Structure 1
Amino acid sequence: MEVKIGVQHAPREIVLESGQTAEEVESAVAAALSGKAQLLSLVDDHGRKVLVPAERLAYVEIGEPSRGKVGFSAL
Structure 2
Amino acid sequence: MRVKIEEVGTGQHPSEKIVKIETKEGPEQLVVDQRSIENHSLDVGYPVGQHNGHLLVELPRETFRGAWRVWVDRGIVTA
In our comparison, the structure showing a higher alpha carbon Rg is 1
Work out whether the TM-score is over 0.5. Answer: no
Q: Which has the higher helix share?
A: 1
Per chain length, whose mean CA-contact separation is higher, i.e. which structure has more relative contact order (CA < 8 Å, sep 6+)?
1
| TM-score normalized by the length of structure 2 | 0.37
Q: Which has the higher strand share?
A: 2
